Amino acid sequence: MEASLKLGNGNWAVKEDSLLAYDDVGGKFRPLPFDFTRASSATVVNKQGLIETVGSGIPRIDFSDDVNGALLLEPQSTNLITQSEDYSSFTQNGCSVISDNISSVGGGLADKIQEDSLNTNKHIRPQSISITSGQSYILSAWFKTDNCDVIALREGSSSGDSITYKFSTGTTSTNGTRWTTLNVVNFSNGWRRIDAKYTSTSTASMNFRVHLLGNNYNQLINPNPSTYVYQGDGASGVYMWGLMVEQNSYPNSYIPTSGAISTRLRDIATNSGIGSLIGQTEGSVFFDLNTTLKNYSVISISDGTNANRVVFYFSAVLNQIASYITKSNVNSSTISSIVNSYPNSNYKVVIKYNSIGFYIFANGGLIGTILSNYSFPNNTLNEIKLSSPDNSNFFEGKVKNIKVYNQSLTDSEAIALTTI
């Protein structure tokens, strides 16, 4: 069955304030724009695997983990580090900053953090950051080793909690309870983006630190920061670029700074005025996406209001994917399914509806139906929005592919489309 509207699947075209979907008319494609807004510049991983800055209102097609690219939609976030690329002003203990020493993943040059030749604790630390008790923070940067196999990220006291990473094996270890998660994404030429999650237990002014631990430190046996002292050789170290600290529970795209904190604003994508392409009495919608979010991540098909809509969402609170229908402000029962690997996992989902009922398929299986007391808001749907109709909740993550059908797919077609 041919889709009446397609977005993505490796076929991307963007311009300021819109990206192009396509609908089949007489066997031909014609542009059908998705309106897009973001009132700030932003960065994205381009086809060459480099960090690229795009202007305000330009949709971002991200190639960090998919050769076909994916539409990147993120919430507002702020980099609390005032110098994300130039570390010459950072406090340097047992090491020194060698400026503009090697090509970075951002097209410019990266600094080297080089150990001294003494038996010292070796770290750098940026300016103090005000943190709030109970809030999570993500520290992230790109690192490349130069004969330094182990580094540590640490809160700013002599006995503070820390998390370590060993380049040669990819192993990590923690000291204390406030650092809980460390993730690594490999880039070209030996660069790795490392991010770690820190949850504050007090409201205070904090210096986060990056420690060098050399080649002989066994972080799995003794991760205690009081032992972060070793004899340096005066030459080894790590290259570092793109340092960020953001108040969040998961890492976002890089936000560059140069002398002051900086905020990237939210991405919003909407396709309206497409009632002729959305089946009003029967139809199907296919999504290929993954999501990272704080609470609810929503995609909706509606008349532009919350009164008549089909809503599909991920819930971090309930650890589930779910969907429901609203007709004339009356909600149907909710179809839901518990998911074990959410978020940061890929999901292929089909929502289909017809005169008999409403169905959701995900990752190769039927997860639920609404057959009783079923009433669909036909003849009113004209908008697909990567958020709720009233923008109270947004989809946050990556959209690889969307297809809209003005007919109800068969069960076998839905299963085939959603199989990972």
pLDDT bucket at 218, cuts 50 / 70 / 90: low
- The answer to whether the CB of 199 falls within 8 A of the CB of 136 is yes
- The mean pLDDT of 338-345, rounded to a whole number, is 60
What are the pLDDT digits (tens) for 358-372? 899 989 999 888 887
Query: Over pLDDT 70: what percentage of the chain?
Result: 94
Between CA 363 and CA 18 the distance in angstroms is 29
- The mean pLDDT of 389-408, rounded to a whole number, is 90
- The mean pLDDT of 341-350, rounded to a whole number, is 74
- What integer pLDDT is reported at residue 381 of this predicted model? 87
- The answer to whether the CB of 243 falls within 8 A of the CB of 84 is yes
- What integer pLDDT is reported at residue 376 of this predicted model? 79
With a cut of 80, say whether residue 171 has pLDDT above it. yes
Between CA 420 and CA 347 the distance in angstroms is 8
With a cut of 70, say whether residue 343 has pLDDT above it. no
- The mean pLDDT of 258-262, rounded to a whole number, is 98
- The mean pLDDT of 394-407, rounded to a whole number, is 91
Beta bridge pairs of residue 119: 231
Q: Regarding predicted confidence, which is higher, 219 or 371?
A: 371
Q: Regarding predicted confidence, which is higher, 158 or 170?
A: 170
- The mean pLDDT of 278-288, rounded to a whole number, is 89
- What integer pLDDT is reported at residue 144 of this predicted model? 98
pLDDT bucket at 222, cuts 50 / 70 / 90: low
- What integer pLDDT is reported at residue 319 of this predicted model? 75
With a cut of 60, say whether residue 294 has pLDDT above it. no
Domains of the chain are 5-75+266-418 (2.60.120.200), 79-264 (2.60.120.260)
With a cut of 80, say whether residue 172 has pLDDT above it. yes
Task: Please give the backbone phi and psi of residue 226, each rounded to the nearest 5 degrees, phi first.
Answer: -65, -15
Q: Regarding predicted confidence, which is higher, 342 or 247?
A: 247
- The mean pLDDT of 270-274, rounded to a whole number, is 82
pLDDT bucket at 13, cuts 50 / 70 / 90: confident
Q: Residue 340 burial by CB count (10 A; 0-12/13-18/19+): exposed, middle or buried?
A: exposed
> If DSSP codes are grouped into helix, strand and coil, which group holds residue 189?
helix
Which stretch of 20-24, 119-123, 213-217, 269-273 has the lowest confidence by average pLDDT?
20-24
Q: Regarding predicted confidence, which is higher, 113 or 25?
A: 113
Q: Regarding predicted confidence, which is higher, 415 or 65?
A: 415
Give the count of alpha carbons within 13 A of 25, CB side only. 8
- The answer to whether the CB of 25 falls within 8 A of the CB of 31 is no
With a cut of 80, say whether residue 24 has pLDDT above it. no
- What integer pLDDT is reported at residue 347 of this predicted model? 87
Average pLDDT of the chain is 89
- The mean pLDDT of 156-184, rounded to a whole number, is 88
Which stretch of 64-78, 203-217, 288-302 has the lowest confidence by average pLDDT?
288-302
> What is the DSSP track for 312-379?
EEEETTTTEEEEEEEETTEE-PPEEEE-SS-SSSEEEEEEEE-SS-EEEEETTEEEEEE-TT----TT
Angle at 45 between CA 106 and CA 301, to 5 degrees: 150
- The mean pLDDT of 396-413, rounded to a whole number, is 92
Q: Regarding predicted confidence, which is higher, 93 or 228?
A: 93
- What integer pLDDT is reported at residue 418 of this predicted model? 94
What's this model's pTM, rounded to 2 decimal places?
A: 0.92
- What integer pLDDT is reported at residue 377 of this predicted model? 82
- What integer pLDDT is reported at residue 50 of this predicted model? 96
What are the pLDDT digits (tens) for 96-146? 999 998 999 999 999 999 999 999 999 999 999 999 999 999 999 999 999
